[in-house]
Structure 1
Amino acid sequence: MVTLPAPTVDTLYRSHHGWLHQWLWRKVGCRDGAADIAQDTFVRVLDAGTVATLREPRAYLSTIANGLLVNHWRRLTLERAYLDALVMQDAALEPSPEERALTIEALMQVDAMLAKLPPKAREAFLLSQIDGWTYAAIAGHLQVSERMVKKYMAQAMLQCLLIASDA
Structure 2
Amino acid sequence: MVLQQAPQLETERLILKQFTLEDFPALQACWTDPEMVKINGGEVPTGEAVWARLLRYIGHWQALGYGYWAVFEKATNLYIGAFGFQDAHRNIEPALPYPEAGWTLIAQSRGKGYANEALEAILHWADTSLSSPLCCIIATDNQRSSYLAERFNFQFDSDVYYHGKEIRLFIRPFPSNPRQSMS
Return the TM-score normalized by structure 2.
0.25
Higher helix share: 1
Return the TM-score normalized by structure 1.
0.26
Q: Which has the higher contact order (CA 8 A, sep 6+)?
A: 2
Larger radius of gyration: 1
